[in-house]
Structure 1
């Protein structure tokens, strides 16, 4: 059974797995309290999943995806000049700000009806809807202008470093002061972390929660933060991982 993808928070958090037999990928729920008991075996390309959910396996050694299964979302690079053969983003779009504890604020764009879901998928602590426009081209133009002052990308290590922190309210309110805010969001992922989790790549422990693509697991007296993308491509083996793992000070 191979990990072939994942659903982040905002999409019913789960690991997507497949037996590589041409059937639909299955979901392993990551609801809080779920006990995972898998070791990590060999790792290879995770192949692809089509729109119907059918998984197509690949035996190439590159991970998490080989050159034939690495995809790039062209819209993520758009700054208002469409990079597709024909522009197709005519739905209403929202421009938003997202806060990641303690002090990171990013600007982003999504289809208007997906705004709250998109914020949760990224693991944002707070969000603010600052513009609604008629299509994606206009939204990307606005985003590119705002990104000259605020970042438009937050990497996983930055999100992980803020797991046990609170948002700097002064920093957040200062960023919002430049805009006529349409709506605000505040998210609680139920992690209740007294200290920052230990970084590991494991698939065994009790699920504390998921924030963005960060899976937080309790194992023994230590809490671990796992980037789910780092699990993609691994074969899961029944039985808890027996490797010696780094422990937090609280476990002694």
Structure 2
């Protein structure tokens, strides 16, 4: 039975590596900061199929997926996934209650988004939000309208590239400073006219993920995994995790989305890291938020 990696899963505020096997369901392996990580890719990377309502449907053709792809799905499964998706605006009839949030990832990197209320802060952990607060709650379409209103009025985007998020994690301002920035934006948002009547506004209650992410003392990211390859190995000590990223003590960042779809096994005892990586560019000074990303 082959268990394939599904990437990081955040359970009750703690990171874990997810696994799935056809006919066996899913499981996870908790991650502990300071532990030694050592794994190697075996065979080929395969499509993970479609996961919906907590159940995964295997890819009917067991298609292979390129090692550099950020999504471990073949084109057909990806299309099926997006055909009934809130994120892709193809499931507008979702009856669940949703929440609008304001998320801070670094200086001048703030976004507005929505998530199902039943998921709690899981979406914020998955995205790597360092500091955040709720803005409101209500039906899906009301939260969507609020999201668009706030994006336009505050000049913030609905997404920020992971490359930008990870580049600043070793150089973050103090918790009080980032909380103040989020609090000021919440106040500006609350003062705006035009909020849908069906949306309940929520008071500013700032949360910080420095603890769950292990950000205190996190080494500055220096290199990032660009692909897994057959036989490629990663060996190091886990210093922290944020969103889909595993931060190792030697400055290597492992984007766990690139691990998804692989069978990962223990490498040889004397193995060292041997995978394609790229150097991270020098950290640029903040220069105004780019609305495109």
Q: Which sits farther off after the overlay, 146-155 or 187-196? A: 187-196
Unpaired stretches in structure 1, ≥5 consecutive residues: none
Aligned pairs, number: 237
Residue aligning to 2:132: 127
Give the SS at the match of 1:25: strand
For structure 2, the 5+ residue unaligned runs are 67-71, 191-202, 228-232, 280-293
Q: Residue by residue, what CA displacement relative to the aligned partner does 1:138-184 show, whole Å, maximum 9, x if unpaired? A: 01001012122210112211111121121564754553341334321
User: Does 1:62 find its partner at 2:62?
Assistant: no
Q: Offset of 1:124 from its aligned partner?
A: 0.7
The answer as to 2:172 corresponding to 1:166 is: yes
- Which of 223, 227, 252 is equivalent to 1:224? 252
Does the 8 Å contact 2:224/2:278 carry over to 1? no
| Corresponding residue number in structure 2 for 1:185 | 207
State the TM-score, normalizing by the size of structure 1: 0.79
User: Which stretch shifts more, 152-161 or 5-14?
Assistant: 5-14
Q: Write the distance in 2 (CA, Å) between the matches of 1:227 and 1:30.
A: 15
Give distance in 2, aligned partners of 1:97 and 1:33: 31
Alignment of 1:1-80 (within 5 A): 1-9=2-10, 12-18=14-20, 20=21, 22-41=23-42, 42-48=44-50, 56=58, 59-63=62-66, 64-70=72-78, 71-72=81-82, 74-78=85-89
- Root-mean-square deviation (Å): 3.0
Deviant stretches of 4+, over 6 Å: 244-248
TM-score by length of 2: 0.69
- For residues 210-249 of structure 1, the aligned pairs below 5 Å read 210-218=241-249, 222-239=250-267, 240=271, 243=274
